[in-house]
Amino acid sequence: MANGIKSHIMTKIALGVLFLISLGIAVLVGLDRISLKRSIEGKTGELDNFRSEGLGNLNRERLRLERQMGSLNSVNERMSKGLFSKPVAQMPKDVGDALKFKEELYRVQKNIKDKGAPIDFQFPFWLGFERYEHDIPAPADLPVRVKQLDIIAEIIDLMLQSKIPEVSSVEFLESKVVVLEGEKDPLFRNFPVRISFECKSDNLVNFMYKLYSAGIPFRIEMIKAKTVNEDMGEKGALKVEMIIVAAVQQQEKK
C-alpha cells in the first residue's frame, strides 16, 4: 500500500516537472517570436526608410536632369536661332520647278560676271552645275540643287568682296543630314563644296574671315595652299584648294 502511494506521488512529481519544462520552453519560444517579430519590424522600417530615401534621391536626380535638359534645349534653341536666323541658312520652302532653277542659275552667273568685271574675275561658268548645261534637275533633287546654288552664290560673293581674282573649279560633294543621338528628325544638313582658286595671302585671310561671319554657317573642313611658280604667275600668288561645309537648317515638319 505504501509502495503504491509512493509510486503515485513520484508520477505526479514527474508530470509536474515535465509541465514546468514545457512551460519554460513555451515561454522561451514566445520570447524568441516576439524578438524575431520586433527584428523583422525593425528591418522592414529600415527598408521602408531606405526605399523612401532612395526614391527621394532618384526624384531629386530626375529633377536635376530635367532642369539640365531644359537648359540644354534652351541653349540649343538659341544657338539654332542665331546660326540659322537668315533665310539663306535654311532649306527653301518653295523650290519652284526645274526651269525656274535654270533661270536662277543664269541670273547668278550674270550677276557674278557683272560684279567681277572690275577685277576681271575668272570663274567656271557653270559653277559646279555642268550636268545641267543641257539637262534639268529631277523634281526630287530640286531642294538640294536650289540650296547648293544659294551656297555657291554666297561663297563667290565673299570671294569678290575679298578681291580673289580667279576660281578654277567648283565641285559639290554629297550632302548629308545631321541627326542628334536618340532623335529621328534631322537637325540640319551639311553641304560640302570643294573649290580651287588663286589669290594672294591677304586675300585668303580676308576670305576666311568673311566665311566665319557669313549669313550661312560655314566651316572649313580642309585647306591646301602652295606658292605659284613666279615664272608662271603673279609674284606672291597662292593656289588654294578648300572644302567648305555649309550647315543649313531643315524645314520643320508641320
Average pLDDT over residues 22-32: 52
Q: What's the confidence (pLDDT) of residue 178?
A: 84
Q: pTM value?
A: 0.65
Out of 33-47, 97-111, 161-175, give the one with best mean pLDDT: 161-175
Q: How far apart are CA 175 and CA 245, in angstroms?
A: 9
pLDDT single digits (tens) 44-96: 666 666 566 666 666 676 666 666 655 555 444 544 444 555 656 677 777 77
Does pLDDT of 15 surpass 90?
Answer: no
The chain-wide mean pLDDT, for the chain, equals 78
Average pLDDT over residues 188-202: 94
Higher pLDDT, 209 or 44: 209
Does residue 115 register a pLDDT over 70? yes
Query: Does the structure show a pLDDT above 60 at 25?
Result: no
User: Higher-confidence residue: 250 or 203?
Assistant: 203
pLDDT in tens, 122-181: 999 999 999 888 888 888 889 899 999 999 999 999 999 999 999 999 999 999 988 877
What confidence score (pLDDT) does residue 75 get? 43
What cell numbers appear for 21 in the block? Answer: 519544462
More confident residue, 254 or 236: 236
Question: Band of the pLDDT at 225, cuts 50, 70, 90?
Answer: very high
Confidence of residue 238 (pLDDT cuts 50, 70, 90): very high
